[in-house]
Amino acid sequence: VKTIYLLSTSNPAALVATFHLTPINAEARVQTRMRLAKTQDVVTLAELSNGSLAIATTLVKVTIGGCAS
């Protein structure tokens, strides 16, 4: 994996993060945090070393006031 793009489908600016990887990383794994105002799909797009693309989409549910007792 050369590059990982993280996108949010309901954000005004869809591109949340871009990670550039090199062979020294050994494993294509990243971690980040993002704030979402409402439930939406988060899309991960990976550009592989051979130029092909892989995509995964996950629905992230946002709960307002989730810490209330």
Q: What's the pLDDT score for residue 36?
A: 86
Q: Tell me the CB-side half-sphere exposure of residue 54, using CA atoms within 13 A.
A: 9
| Residue 69, pLDDT above cutoff 60 | no
| Residue 55, pLDDT above cutoff 70 | yes
Q: Tell me the CB-side half-sphere exposure of residue 40, using CA atoms within 13 A.
A: 14
- Looking at residue 67, the DSSP 8-state letter turns out to be T
| Residue 12, pLDDT above cutoff 90 | no
